[in-house]
Amino acid sequence: MINYIIVDDEPQARKLIQSYMSALPNYHLAKACANAMEAYEILCTQEIDFMFLDIKMPMVSGIDFLKSLKKPPLVIFTTAFNKYALESYELSVVDYLLKPIAMPRLLNALEKINERLNQKATTAQNPITDHLFFKVENKLVRVDLDAILLIESLQNFVKIHLKDKILLTSNSMKSLESKLPTQQFLRVHRSYIVPIKSIIAINGNTIETTYQPIQIGVSYRNEVMRFAKGSNDY
């Protein structure tokens, strides 16, 4: 069961999110909070996986509240204003929902939450390794992780870029991502995973690496900015 809280000073906003979430299995609402103080009390006493956090609230704004937390849960900002989008990236929030919130958009945000929670669980369960075996044609080929320059999705295959060759494997991108250590690799686009050690700079919507520049996918920008801010997850 995934535990979450709603933090919003508007009763109708809390009710809307609550009505959406009540139709979904595997989510448990710990509390619908009217302000940051109520939310802080819950965070201190219960294990919360993520929170819907309104930005513009009296006394303590959502942004100031998030900045005050040493170990915050995953966060989905909810607001009627789009001017805070850049700051939300800098605070490494999972998503940024504009009010009035539509159900399809909320489901998209929850998918990102689940991906992040799965990544954390995988990292905790799987010890860090220095190599993986990839299925290439009819055999399993060992590849040292330090030798990987880029992982690229290519229709029904994945290209593993190495210094002296390119391997074409039938592994799916999703399967590979789940096996790679998150401390060493970062997915920046639905078609690209890059070694973190190869990243030189982030220039707008492009990541400059020692191998080649890679475009940042829109749905992966939050993850890239979280990495850039030096999250403890890396």
List, for residues 61-95, the tens digit of each pLDDT value: 999 999 999 889 999 999 988 877 666 667 778 99
Angle CA 230–149–217, to nearest 5: 60
The predicted-structure confidence for 93-107, as pLDDT tens digits, reads as follows 899 999 999 999 999
Asked if 55 and 62 touch (Cβ cutoff 8 Å), the reply is yes
Q: How many CB atoms lie within 10 A of CB 115?
A: 16
Ramachandran sector of residue 9 (left: φ over 0; alpha: ψ -120 to 50; beta: rest): alpha
Domains of the chain as residue ranges with CATH: 2-125 (3.40.50.2300), 131-228 (2.40.50.1020)
Closest CA to 162 of 181, 149, 145: 149
Write down the pLDDT at residue 151: 96
What integer best gives the mean pLDDT of the chain?
89
Query: What is the pLDDT averaged over residues 31-60?
Result: 95
Asked if 178 and 191 touch (Cβ cutoff 8 Å), the reply is no
3-class secondary structure, 105 = helix
Across the strands, what pairs with 142? 133
Asked if 78 and 99 touch (Cβ cutoff 8 Å), the reply is yes
Closest CA to 176 of 212, 132, 207, 233: 132
101, 106, 118, 136, 140 from 13: Cα distances, Å: 9, 13, 28, 51, 53
The predicted-structure confidence for 112-166, as pLDDT tens digits, reads as follows 999 888 877 765 555 567 888 888 888 889 999 999 999 999 877 899 999 889 9
Please give the Cα distance from 190 to 174 (Å, whole number): 9
Extract the runs of DSSP E, i.e. beta strands, from 139-222. Answer: 139-144, 148-154, 157-162, 166-169, 185-189, 192-195, 199-203, 206-209, 214-215
Predicted TM-score (pTM) of this structure = 0.57
Write down the pLDDT at residue 89: 65
Burial grade of 215 (CB within 10 A; 0-12, 13-18, 19 or more): middle
Write down the pLDDT at residue 122: 64
